[in-house]
Amino acid sequence: MRRIVVIGDGMVGSRFAEQIVEADEGIHVTLLGKEPIPAYNRVLLSSVVAGTKSADLLHIAKQHPRVLRLTGVAAATIDRDLMRVIDSNGRSHPYAELVIATGSVARVPAIQGVADSGGLIDGVFVLKDMADAEGIVASAGRARRAVVLGAGVLGLEVATGLARRGVVVKLVHIAERLMERQLGWEASAVAESGLRRLGIDSHTGASLARVQTTRGRVTSVRLEDGSEMLTDMVVMCAGTIPETTLARNAGLVCERGIVVDDQLATSDPHIRAIGDCAQPPGGARGLVAQGWQQATMLVAALTGAQVQAADTAATADVVRVKASGMAMVAMGVCGDFDRADPRYRVLSLKDPEGGRFVEVVVSGGQLVGATCIGDADVAATLSALYTRQLPVPSDPAQLMIKALAGGGAPAATRDPADLKDDEKVCNCNTVTAGRIREAVADGCSTVKDVASRTRATTGCGDCTSLVEGLISCHRSPSTSPAAVAAVPQGA
Amino acid sequence: MTTPQGVAAPGTAPGAAVATHCPYCALQCAQTLTPTPGGRLPVTVTGRDFPTNRGGMCQKGWSSPEVLAAPDRLTTPLLRDVKGGALREASWGEALDLIVGRIRETQERHGRDAVAIFGGGGLTNEKAYALGKFARVALRTPYIDYNGRFCMSSAAAASNRAFGMDRGLGFPLEDVGGADAVLIMGSNVAVTMPPLVQHLAGVRSRGGLIYADPRRTATARLTDSGAGVHLQIVPGTDMAVLLSLLHILIDEGLVDAEYLAKRVSGYEAIRISVSAWWPERAEQVTGVGAETLRRTARLLAAASPARGGRGAYILTGRGMEQMASGTAAVTAAINLALALGLPGREGSGYAPITGQGNGQGGREHGLKADQLPGYTSIADPVRRAHVAGVWGVDPESLPGPGVPAVELLRRLGAQNGPRALLVHGSNIAVSAPNADEVKEALMRLDLLVVADLVPSETAELADVVLPVTQWAEEDGTMTNLEGRILRRRKVADAPGEARSELWILAELARRMQVDGFSEEPSAVFDELARASAGGPADYSGVTYARLDAGEQIHWPCPASDDAHPGTPRVFLESFPTPDGRARMIAVEYVGPRDDVRVEAPVYLVTGRVLTQYQSGAQTRRVGELIDADPLPYVEIHPSLAESYRIEDGALVELTTARGSVQLTARLSADTRPDTVFVPFHWPSSANVLTNDATDPTSGMPEFKVCAVALRAVVVKEEVGA
C-alpha cells in the first residue's frame, strides 16, 4: 500500500485522486478539502451567478473506497522531514508522495473600504468558491445596481450574468481595452457595444478608489477620477494569485507559483504540485484544461501507467467567454500584438453593426491565433482547428464566415426545369434527369410508370417530387425548353 | 400481416415467383424473385411491400440478380498443390478429404486449438449456428469469430451491459415514423439503407431529424430546409457531443426524473461524470457551437414522452462504434436515451442500426468467440449444459471462450497461434483493418480454406477454395435489424457444383466421424431453436411453418402451447437485468488513438458508397454498380486540396502509420476542410490505412478515424507560375 496525500479537493486535485486509484490498486489517497463540500465544477460558478446553472448540479466528486475525502479540513503545515501533513484539526497524515493542488485565490485590489477586520464587507464580493457564488446570487436578488470590477473573462461572465438577472451593471476596468490580453482595440470596441446591447456600461481606463457604505450597506463607489457611481453591490474580478502559502512555509521554491519541473515535481522530490498553484516550465495558463492534463500526466509519472491519448484541447490556450447572449473566443496570438510582424498573415472581418468581429492569424500554413466575437459557429470551427493544428485553407478568409457551410442546394428545392440531363435525380438508383425525361417522352406519365421503367423513387423515395416535376415539365413544354431539348431523337 | 399475395411459398412448382429478401444489408428489403428460364439472368427482381422497405429497394437490390450470374462465379472446388502455385479444379471428394486430412494432421501436431474458423454476418442463421457448432463439436477449438466483430460488437457490448440484451432495434422500424425527434449518430442511412429514409418522413416534417457527421452526406441533406439539424463534428468526437447533450439536459432540468427513479440504476454517478462537459468546453472538442448543442438537447427533450412529446429515438451506427472507444461511445448514447426516458417505451427508444444482412442473427447463434446459441455466454455452466444436451456431447468437451476477430487474425501462423483457418462469408483481405498485415498472416498459414461465391481477394490466397450457394439459391432464415426473423427462399439452382455450407459442414463432419450435422435448413433451424431456448435470443417458439404462413415474429419467442407471438417491442415492462433496471455506466471521452500531428495533419474517415457493399466481392461484379462508382477515391474539401495543390481527378498519395495508397481526388465541399473521406469497398484502399487499435471491451477496431498525410502525386501548376 502506498499512501498519497492530496491537499486541495478542487477540480484538479479530485480528478488526480480519482484517476490514480483507478490506475494502481495499491494506492490509497487522503484528500484534504478546506471547503465544506466536496469537489465541484468551479468553472461553472459564473453560470450559477447568471442563473443558468443551479448550484447543486456542479458536484463532480466521485466516491471511491481508496479515497479518503475530508471536507472542511485544511492543511495547516507540511512536515517534510517526517513526510506528513498536519491538518487544521491537528491530525497528522503521513505520505509517501504529497500532491499540492491548492489552486489560487482571488486578488483583492487595495481599495478603500472593501474590507474590514472581518474580511470583505457586506455587499462586496469576489467569485472564487461556492459560498461566494451563493452570496452574489442572494445579494443580486435584492440589488438594483451592481459594479463589476475587472473585465477579464470572469468579469464579463459575471457582468452578463448579473444583467441577465435584471441588475443594471457597470463594468469598471483598469486597462484601456476589455479583456486586454485577448482582445485588440477593434475587438474590444465590438465587445463593448455588444455589452451595451445587454444593458452593461463599460468604463475602461478606470479604477475604484473607495467603496462607500451607509449603515453597513454599500451605496456607491468612487472612481480614481473622482466620479461616483450608485451601486448596491460590488464584485471584484481582478485576477487570481496562486495559493502558495503552505508551500512557502514548508520551504519549497516558489516564484509566482510553486515552481515545478516537467514531471510536476517541486524542489522536494516527494512533493508535486498541479493546477493553478503550480508554475510549470511553460508557465501556467489558469485554465482547468491544463490542470486536468497535469493530473493525468502525474498519474502516469507516479504509476508508470500509459497516458491515454488526451483530450487534444487540453494544452491549447483557448479562452472562451461563457457570457449569456455573447459568443466570444480568443486563442494563441491575439490581443494587442504586432500586426505588421512579417511572420504573420492577419485577416480580419469587422462588423460592429452586427456585433461581429473575426480575426485570424496564420503563420507557416497554420492557424496560430484567432479572435471571434458574435459568431458562434465560426468560433467553434476556429477553436477546433487551432487546438489540433489542422491545415488552414490557402485562402484563410474561408475560415471567417461559416467555414463549414457549402455544398449544393438541397434536393427538395431544386427546380426540375433547371436540372441538367446528367444530373442525378435518384441517388439510390443512380438515375439522371435525362433518363427520366427519356422515359417521360416515351409515354411514362406517372411516377409509378417512371419507377417501373427507371427505378427512380424506389429507394428512399425522396426524389418523388422532383420526378413529378419532370413529368409535369414535359406536359407543359413551353415553360421548359430544357426538357424538350433533352429528349433524345428516336430514343 | 404481409402474407405475400400471388407469391408462392417454397416447395411449389418451379417457375413460380418466390417471396424472399435482398442479399445485402440488415434492412433486408423484401423482394419478389421470378425465375426466367433461358434468360440471361436466372431471375428477375421486384420490390415487395413489407413494413421495413415498403416496396422500395436501392440500386444494389435491383441489380442483385447480376451476382447470380457473375462471370467469374466459382463453380467447382479449387486446390493449390504447392504454396505460390496455381489453383486447379478438383472434385468435392478430393477437396473435402484433403481438408479433413490436413486438419487432422495439424491438430495432431499442434493441438486442437491450431484450427480456427472465421465467419461472416451475411450467412443465414442456420449456417452461423452450424459453423459455431462445428468449431465446438467437430474441431473442438475455441478459435472462432466473425466479421460482425468489425460491425456490431461495440453496440452489442454496450447494449448487453446496459439493458441485459442486444436486439438491434428493440421496436419495429415503423415506430420511428411517429417520433418528434430522431438523433442519428454515425450512420449515413440515406446512402447505406435508402429505403429506411421513408420512415424519417414524419420526424423531418416536424423539424426533428438530428444528424452528426463530419461530412455533409445525403443523410445530412435530409435535415435541410428546416427538417432538422446537422452537427458537422470533428471526426471522432461523437462521444463528446453525447456527453455534452446529457450535461445540458441535467443542467436545464430536462431529464425524465420519474423514469430514472423507477427504471434505471447508476444515475448519480452519471450526473457527476458529465459535469465536465459544459457546452463551451464541448464546443472546443467537437467543433459544434455551444448554442447549437443546447438547441439540440432541448429539441430532444421536447420530443421525449416525459415532456409531452410524441417520442424520440437515438440511433447509432458504425461511424461512432468503429472506434477504439466504441463501447464507451454507445454507452454515452444509451445514457442519454435513458436520461430522456426513451428505452422500453412505445414510440421512443435507443438502437444501433445493424449493418450486415444477418449481422443480428450472426451474433446470436454461436459465431462469436465467447458465445453459444441463444446469445448466451460460453462461460456460463448452465448454458453449456443446455447446449451440450442439445448437441449430445459432454459439457466438459466444449471449449471455452476464444479471442475476438482482430486478435484472432493477429495470432494466425504466429507462435502457438492457429495454423489452419476456414473462412466463410468474409473477405478479410479487404475488410479487416491494417489489411496488408492480415494478408501476411493468411500467407503464414499451413492451410487456408475459403468458401465463397466468387474468387474474392481472400479466396485468391487460399489453399482450398469451396464454391458455395448464395441467397436466391438456398433456403434459410435471416434476422433483420429489428430482430424480425425472415425467410430466405430458394428460387434458382446454383451453377455448377456450388453447394451450401450446411452440406459442406455435414460432409466434413461425416469424414471426421462426428454426428449431428444436417444439410437440411429446416432441420438445422429446429435444432437452433432448441439450443436457443431460455437464452435472451430465444427462437424456440419459431418454426418454418409459422414463418411460411406469413407470421411476423421478433425474438424472443419462447416455445409455448399457445404459439408465443414474439416480441416486437422489448423492455416495455422491465429490462432483462438482475434487478430489472437499465444500468447507466459512467464513461470517459478519449479522442482518436491515432490523432492528427505535424507529420499527419489531416483526419481520414472511412465509409460506404451507395452502390457498393462491404468488401465489394459481390457488388464489384455488377456492371451498373461499377459504372456508378468505378474506383476507390479520396474526397477532399476544395480548400484543403488547394493548399496541397491537388486537382480534381488527380492522383493523391495518402500515408498513415500503417500504410500508403494512391487514390483519385474527388473535390467536394461536403467534407470538412480538415477531413478526407475514403470508401472501403476496394482492395488496396481505405483499410491499408486504417488503425487496428481495438476497443478493450468489444474488440472493435478503430476503422473510422486516423491521422493521414497527403501528397499530390502530380502537383497542380500554379496559375501564372
In angstroms, the CA A281 to CA A262 distance is 7
Task: Please indicate, yes or no, if residue B61 is contained in any of the structural domains.
Answer: no
B230 Cβ under 8 Å from any chain A Cβ: no
Containing A28, the helix (H) or strand (E) segment is strand A27-33
Q: What angle do CA B348, B350, B356 make, to 5 degrees?
A: 125
Residues B142 and B158 in one domain: no
Task: Please indicate, yes or no, if residue B38 is contained in any of the structural domains.
Answer: no
At B437, which CATH number? 3.40.50.740
* Cross-chain CB nearest to A410 (options B224, B601, B603): B224
Task: Please indicate, yes or no, if residue B67 is contained in any of the structural domains.
Answer: no
* Cross-chain CB nearest to B642 (options A389, A394, A430): A394
Task: Please indicate, yes or no, if residue B568 is contained in any of the structural domains.
Answer: no
A37 Cβ under 8 Å from any chain B Cβ: no
Contacts of residue B211 in chain A, CB cutoff 8 Å?
none
Of B537, B554, B571, the residue that ends a domain is B554
Short-list B185, B211, B353, B242, CA closest to B584? B242
For residue B203, report the phi and psi dihedrals to the nearest 5 degrees.
Answer: -65, -35
Helix pair angle (B381-391, B521-532), 10° resolution:
150
pLDDT of residue A59: 83
Task: Please indicate, yes or no, if residue B398 is contained in any of the structural domains.
Answer: yes
* Cross-chain CB nearest to A313 (options B285, B627, B643): B285
Contacts of residue A380 in chain B, CB cutoff 8 Å?
283-284, 286-290, 292
Query: For chain A, which domains are there?
Result: 2-104+241-314 (3.50.50.60), 115-238 (3.50.50.60), 325-399 (3.30.390.30), 411-486 (1.10.10.1100)
Short-list A209, A206, A211, A226, CA closest to A115? A211
Which residues of B, range 58-117, sit inside 8 Å of A by Cβ? 58-59, 62
Task: Please list, in sequence order, all residues whose beta carbon lies within 8 angstroms of the beta carbon of residue A288, skipping any fewer than 6 positions away.
Answer: A11, A12, A42, A43
Task: Please indicate, yes or no, if residue B580 is contained in any of the structural domains.
Answer: no
Mutate to test the interface with B, among A58, A378, A460, A463 (most CBs of B within 10 A): A460
In angstroms, the CA A279 to CA A253 distance is 10
In angstroms, the CA B587 to CA B696 distance is 13
Which residues of A, range 294-313, sit inside 8 Å of B by Cβ? 308-313
Residues B363 and B341 in one domain: no
Mutate to test the interface with A, among B44, B197, B219, B275 (most CBs of A within 10 A): B275
Task: Please indicate, yes or no, if residue B8 is contained in any of the structural domains.
Answer: no
Q: How many residues does chain B have?
A: 721
* Cross-chain CB nearest to A391 (options B59, B284, B674): B674
At B246, which CATH number? 3.40.228.10
Task: Please indicate, yes or no, if residue B574 is contained in any of the structural domains.
Answer: no
Within 10 angstroms of residue B11's Cβ, the number of other Cβ atoms is: 9
Residues B193 and B205 in one domain: yes
Helix pair angle (B238-251, B326-339), 10° resolution:
20
At B679, which CATH number? 2.40.40.20
**What would the grid cell of residue B502 be?**
450446411
Residues B641 and B622 in one domain: yes
Residues B116 and B131 in one domain: yes
pLDDT of residue B718: 52
In angstroms, the CA A474 to CA B240 distance is 50
Per-residue pLDDT of chain A (491 residues), as tens digits, is 899 999 999 999 999 999 899 889 999 999 999 999 999 988 889 989 998 877 777 888 888 999 999 999 999 999 999 999 999 999 999 999 999 999 999 999 999 999 988 889 999 999 999 999 999 999 999 999 999 999 999 999 999 999 999 999 999 999 999 999 999 999 999 999 999 998 999 999 999 999 999 988 999 999 999 999 999 999 999 999 999 999 999 999 999 999 999 899 999 999 999 999 999 998 887 778 788 889 988 999 999 876 554 444 445 678 888 887 788 999 999 998 999 999 999 999 998 888 899 999 999 888 999 999 988 888 888 888 888 888 788 788 888 886 444 433 344 457 888 888 988 888 888 889 999 999 999 999 999 899 888 988 888 888 888 899 899 887 765 444 444 444 344 33
Domain count, chain B: 3
Of B335, B352, B369, the residue that ends a domain is B352
In angstroms, the CA A425 to CA A470 distance is 10
Of B317, B352, B387, the residue that ends a domain is B352
pLDDT of residue B720: 41
Residues B331 and B449 in one domain: no
Residues B250 and B331 in one domain: yes
Short-list B131, B105, B647, B700, CA closest to B405? B700
In angstroms, the CA B606 to CA B705 distance is 7
Q: How far is CA A241 from CA A106, A108, A238, A255, in A?
A: 6, 10, 10, 11
Flag residues of chain B having pLDDT under 70: 1-15, 715-721
Could you tell me the pTM of the whole model?
A: 0.86
pLDDT of residue A411: 42
Residues B146 and B159 in one domain: no
ipTM above 0.90, yes or no: no
Tracing cell 479537493 back to the chain, one arrives at A9
Contacts of residue B250 in chain A, CB cutoff 8 Å?
57
Residues B431 and B506 in one domain: yes
Q: What pLDDT digit, counting tens, does each position of B343-402 carry?
A: 999 999 999 999 889 988 888 999 999 999 999 999 999 999 999 999 999 999 999 999
Structural domain boundaries enclosing B129: 78-151+358-554
**What would the grid cell of residue A324 be?**
449569456
Residues B677 and B530 in one domain: no
pLDDT of residue A479: 44
Burial class (CB in 10 A: 0-12, 13-18, 19+), A352: middle
Short-list A358, A336, A337, CA closest to A347? A358
Residues B362 and B347 in one domain: no
Q: Check CB contact under 8 Å for B287 and A428.
A: no
**Does the bond joining B418 to the residue before it have cis omega, within 30 degrees of 0?**
no
In angstroms, the CA B210 to CA B227 distance is 9
Provide the sign of the torsion angle of the four alpha carbons B617, B235, B667, B708, taken in this order. negative
Residues B226 and B331 in one domain: yes
pLDDT of residue A143: 95
